[in-house]
């Protein structure tokens, strides 16, 4: 069961990722207390935790702000994700057992179903897409043998995903094909090919996000 603190953390983090708490907006403690009915100390603890993870900025004398959007930040996050996820995928393909394969098959099946009915305007579908996209990428690297590596990757994935969701970035058939290639080569234990398509997937997503960035600025 979630504690009050962990539940509040998940809710505020989710609202940052989905843009309900907008980039660069000031996080006023009294307003947050109305929307998340917990103590001010719990809210402060949550914001400090999110600050350590890159979702919030804590400024002395000025308070807390949602981390702003910038092209430089997006590019850095994407490049770090390529580095960590490629390394983790390579380890996972070497170590994965039958249970790992079964989990990967299930994760890809759920992602494929949601991608084929993806609608950027439907919040419920977008949220399901976020969940199943994460589960697929996690399933790919789950056998890497390093909890620290998975934790670091999880943080970068969510920070990258915030840009995707707020910019309404779903690339359709192109992204679906990339996921299929990653999946098929992972099952074949062809690390070089799986990593190649993983890099293409993230780089194409970055290109698309930067184009959307340009349209909105």
Q: pLDDT per residue over 115-139, tens digit each?
A: 888 766 677 787 888 889 999 999 9
Q: pLDDT per residue over 133-176, tens digit each?
A: 999 999 999 999 999 999 999 999 999 989 888 886 677 889 89
Whether residues 108 and 45 share a domain: the answer is: no
Whether residues 37 and 82 share a domain: the answer is: no
Domain range for 61: 4-66
Percent of the chain with pLDDT over 70: 94
**Structure confidence at residue 199 as a pLDDT band (50, 70, 90):** very high
Whether residues 38 and 137 share a domain: the answer is: no
Q: pLDDT per residue over 5-56, tens digit each?
A: 788 999 999 999 988 999 999 999 989 998 988 888 999 999 999 999 999 9
In degrees and rounded to multiples of 5, residue 65 shows phi and psi of: -135, 145
Work out the average pLDDT over 107-118.
Answer: 90
How many domains is the chain partitioned into structurally?
2
Q: What is the CA 105 to chain-centroid distance, rounded?
A: 20
Which among 190, 169, 183 has a CA at the least distance from the CA of 137?
183
Q: pLDDT per residue over 59-76, tens digit each?
A: 887 899 999 999 999 999
Backbone CA torsion sign across 124, 147, 16, 160: negative
Residue 101, phi-psi category: left (phi > 0), alpha (psi -120 to 50), beta (remainder): alpha
Q: Residue 107 corresponds to which tokens in the numbers above? A: 């994760």
CA dist 58 and 62 (Å) reads 8
Which residue in the block uniquely carries the two structure tokens 């002395």? 60
Whether residues 103 and 207 share a domain: the answer is: yes
Count Cβ neighbours within 10 Å for each residue of 65-102 and write b for 16 or more, e otherwise.
bbbebeeeebeebbebbbebbbbbbbbbbeebeeebee
Whether residues 154 and 95 share a domain: the answer is: yes
Whether residues 121 and 48 share a domain: the answer is: no
Inter-CA distances, 100 with 104, 137, 197, 217, Å: 6, 12, 20, 43
CA dist 180 and 186 (Å) reads 10
Question: Looking at 50, 66, 82, which one is the last position of a domain?
Answer: 66
Which among 60, 71, 61, 62 has a CA at the least distance from the CA of 25?
62
Question: Looking at 16, 37, 66, which one is the last position of a domain?
Answer: 66
- The pLDDT assigned to 138 comes to 97
């Amino acid at each position: 069961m979630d504690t009050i603190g962990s539940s509040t953390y998940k809710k505020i983090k989710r609202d940052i990722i989905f843009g309900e708490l907008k980039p660069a907006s000031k996080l006023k403690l009294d307003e947050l207390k109305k929307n998340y009915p917990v103590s001010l100390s719990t809210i402060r603890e949550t914001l400090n935790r999110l600050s350590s993870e890159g979702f919030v900025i804590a400024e002395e004398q000025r308070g807390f702000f949602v981390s702003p959007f910038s092209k430089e930040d997006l590019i850095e996050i994407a490049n770090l994700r390529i580095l960590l996820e490629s390394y983790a995928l390579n380890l996972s393909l070497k170590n994965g057992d039958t249970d790992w394969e079964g989990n990967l098959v299930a994760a890809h099946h759920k992602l494929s179903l949601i991608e084929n009915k993806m609608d950027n305007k439907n919040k419920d579908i977008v949220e399901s897409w976020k969940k199943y996209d994460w589960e697929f990428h996690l399933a790919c690297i789950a056998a890497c043998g390093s909890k620290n590596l998975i934790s670091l990757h999880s943080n970068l994935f969510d920070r990258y995903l915030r840009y995707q969701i707020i910019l309404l970035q779903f690339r359709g058939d192109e992204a679906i094909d990339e996921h299929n290639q990653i999946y098929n080569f992972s099952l074949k234990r062809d690390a070089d090919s799986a990593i190649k398509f993983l890099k293409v997937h993230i780089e194409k997503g970055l290109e698309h996000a930067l184009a959307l960035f340009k349209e909105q600025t």
